A and B are shown apart, each in its own frame.
Chain A
Amino acid sequence: MTPAVTSVAETNAIPPRGRKMQRPLLDRIAEASGWNVVAIALGTIALALIYGPLIWLGVMSFSAEPLSGKPYPLTFAHYGLLFSNDKWHAPFVKSVVLGLVVALACMIVGTFLARALVRLKRPGGVLFVALLPLFVPGLTIGAALFIFLRTTLDLRLGMWSLFIGHMVWAFPFALLLILIVTIRFDVKLIQAAEDLGAKPLRCFLDIELPLLMPGISGAGIFSFLLSFNELLRSTFLRGSETTMPVYNWAMASAQQSQVPIVFSLSTLILAVTLPLMGGLFFMLFARK
Chain B
Amino acid sequence: MTALALSSSPRRRWRLPGTATGWFTGWFLVMWIGVVVLPLLIISAFSFFSMRQYQIVYDPTFATWTSLVETGRWVVVLRTIRFAVSVTFLEILVAFPFALWLAKGCRSAAVRAGVITLLTIPFFIDASSRIIVWRSILGTNGVVNNLLVGSGLIDKPLTWLLYSDFSVSFGMFGSYFPTAVFPIFLTLSLIDDDLIKASADLGASRLQTLRHVILPLAMPGIVGGIVFTFVPLMAAWIEPQLLGGGQVNLLGQSIQSALTNLNYPVAAALSTIVIAVLVLMLAALVVSLRGRFKMSSLFQSLDR
What residues of chain A have their CB less than 8 Å away from a CB belonging to chain B?
A: 1-2, 4-5, 7-9, 12, 14-26, 28-30, 35-36, 38-40, 42-43, 46-47, 49-54, 56-57, 60, 67-69, 109, 112-113, 115-124, 126-127, 129-141, 143-145, 147-149, 152, 164, 167-168, 173, 176-177, 179-188, 190-191, 194-195, 200-201, 203-204, 208, 214-215, 218, 221-222, 225, 228-229, 232, 245, 248, 259, 262-263, 266, 269-270, 273-274, 277-278, 281-282, 284-288
Contacts and interface: CB of A to CB of B under 8 A. Distances in A.
A16 B198 CA distance: 10
Given A25-B196, A69-B139, 13 more contacts: A12-B213, A50-B122, A52-B137, A53-B133, A115-B20, A135-B279, A137-B234, A137-B251, A187-B302, A187-B303, A190-B18, A266-B126, A269-B125
Interface string B119-130: 111111111111
A175 B100 CA distance: 23
Interface of B: prevailing SS = helix
A68 to B, nearest CB: 6
A152 B200 CA distance: 62
A130 B46 contact: no
Interface of A: prevailing SS = helix
B2 A148 contact: no
A181 B113 CA distance: 19
A278 B94 contact: no
B48 interface: no
Contacts of B187: 180, 184
Contacts of A183: 220, 298-301
B102 interface: yes
B33 A39 contact: no
Nearest to A129: B32
A60 B133 contact: yes
A180 B8 contact: no
Given A26-B107, A136-B275, A53 B220 contact: no
B193 to A, nearest CB: 7
Contact of A25 (B206, B237, B278): B206
Nearest to A221: B120
Interface string B34-46: 0111111011001
B109 A7 contact: no
Contact of B105 (A30, A42, A180, A245): A30
A113 B1 CA distance: 12
Given A116-B20, A190-B17, A129 B186 contact: no
B124 A186 contact: no
B6 A168 contact: no
Interface stretch (B23-31, B62-70, B148-156): B23-31
B255 interface: yes
Contact of B97 (A38, A113, A259): A38
B59 interface: no
A28 B197 CA distance: 11
A25 to B, nearest CB: 5
Contact of B120 (A30, A53, A140, A281): A281
A19 B1 contact: no
